[in-house]
Amino acid sequence: MKLCRHHTSQMPQAKEMKKMMITMRLELVVISTALYCLSGIASAFQPSPPFSRGNNCHGQHQHQHQRGTSCTAPSSMMSTTTTLQISRRQLLETTSFPIAITAAAAALVALPSSANAAAAIQDSLEINEFLRTGVDTGGNMGVSSQAGKSRPQTGVVFRDGTDVLQGKSGDVSAEILVGTKARPTSVLVSFTAPYKLETGTVFDVECRDGKTGDGVFLAVTESTGGKSLEELPASFFLSRLFDPTGRFSFYGPPTDVKVKKSKLLDGGERRMLELTFSNLSQSTNAEIPRNAVLVASIPKGTDNAVMLVASSNANRWKKGGAEARAMEIVDSFRAVPAPKTSLKLRAKDRSGGSSLDF
């Protein structure tokens, strides 16, 4: 169906008119509020009628009105009333009126204009929906959204001069540093995922399905203290994920965290954990269950475990084929020491120069 050129040309104008009407309504609300405050301040300074036991003018006026006479207030009382009126007028002219005008002007300046209203809406983030599915229904996470949020602590540190890459077939590769700042070790990590590689300041190595919320991300544990994968408790691996700054705790601590399975793979070279947890939805107060599988490996010559974590909504885990897909992803995961070169190992500065510790 072809639209009339006249109607198509008027569609942008209609949107602009709608935005202008919203802005005008907001301005009227602010001005009305300022005028209301101004009238309230003025009424607060109105003096109460003078009253004394020996001079009840109201009673005399009512009595004398019946006799056809009038009541005349004493001269001292009139002088006091005149002085109060002058003082009140001066006070309103010098204090409350400028304050009200200033408040109204400040509120008008703070109002979002029609030009940036769309950007403000796009930069909103539906936290509950993000926790439930991993999908931001408030709009795409733009540059301004990412700039205002701190990055989850996954333990991933990139080598300076390198980037995360993803091929057309979904192969993801990155070079990271483990160990300490004084003695870093370069490690090459790789895996294959059918999801889009996420970019931006709040992501390290992460791929997500924007429609379902299924995703996978890389994480690095603290020092293992010389222990093997078999000797380490399950809580050692989960602490990186569920700490207050962890990836799964970015917007609130999960509940009902349970390890369903734990087993060694490839003769103890890798360890797999299957777990479940729930996120509390603030809007419905309902627990939203989620499943995840984790595979950890300690590259030779290093003292940190490198992990790949794939997760999905519990409803999709069995019925939607997410479990089988997650198992394929973690099975493709590899973390091996990078070939040694004469180049100095430096961490990529992603903190604005404030810290390079890892």
How far, in Å, CA of 150 to CA of 202, rounded? Answer: 7
Encoded amino acid at 88, one letter: R
Q: What is the pLDDT of residues 298-354, one digit of tens each?
A: 999 999 999 999 999 999 998 889 999 999 999 999 999 999 888 899 998 876 543
pLDDT cut 70: percent of the chain above it: 57
Residues 216 and 286 sit within 8 Å (Cβ to Cβ): no
Distance CA 134, CA 195 (A): 13
Q: Give Dmax over CA atoms of the chain in angstroms.
A: 117
Per 3-state DSSP, the chain is made up of helix, strand and coil in percentages (nearest 5) of 40, 25, 35
Which residue did the predictor score with more confidence, 119 or 283? 283
**Greater pLDDT, 178 or 60:** 178
Q: What is the per-residue pLDDT across 66-118, written as a single tens digit (0 to 9) for each?
A: 444 444 444 444 444 444 444 444 544 444 445 544 544 444 444 444 333 33
Strand 171-179 to 165-166 pairing: antiparallel
| pLDDT at position 351 | 64
- The predicted-structure confidence for 260-274, as pLDDT tens digits, reads as follows 999 999 999 999 999
Unique residue bearing structure tokens 């290093």: 302
Beta carbons of 219 and 154 less than 8 angstroms apart: yes
DSSP classification of residue 289: E
**b or e along 25-61 (b: 16 or more beta carbons within 10 Å of the residue's beta carbon)?**
eeeeebeeebeeebeebbeeeeeeeeeeeeeebeeee
C-alpha angle 21/23/26, rounded to 5°? 110
**Cβ of 116: how many Cβ atoms within 10 Å?**
10
Mean pLDDT, the chain, whole residue set: 72
User: What is the Cα–Cα distance from 197 to 309, expressed in whole angstroms?
Assistant: 14
Q: What was the pLDDT predicted at 322?
A: 95
Rg over alpha carbons for the chain, rounded to the nearest Å, is 34
pLDDT classification of 224: cutoffs 50, 70, 90: very high
d(CA 157, CA 295): 19
> Which superfamily does 152-337 belong to?
Mog1/PsbP, alpha/beta/alpha sandwich (3.40.1000.10)
3-state SS, residue 355: coil
Q: Judge whether 176 and 164 are in contact, CB under 8 Å.
A: no
25-43 pLDDT tens trace: 677 766 777 776 666 655 5
Would you place residue 284 in the very low, low, confident or very high pLDDT band (cuts 50, 70, 90)? Answer: low
Cβ-proximal residues to 205 (8 Å cutoff; 6+ apart), any chain: 154, 156, 164, 172, 174, 176, 189, 217, 218
d(CA 157, CA 177): 6
What residues contact residue 299 under an 8 Å CB cut-off, 6+ apart?
178, 185, 187, 306, 335, 336, 337
User: Vertex 170, ends 164 and 172: CA angle to 5°?
Assistant: 25
pLDDT band for position 46 (cuts 50, 70, 90): low
Residue 313 tokens, joined: 């909504």
Domain with CATH 3.40.1000.10 in the chain: 152-337
Find how far residue 59's CA is from the centre of its chain: 67
For residue 297, pLDDT over 70 is answered with yes
Q: What is the pLDDT of residues 165-204, one digit of tens each?
A: 999 999 999 999 999 888 999 999 999 999 999 988 888 9
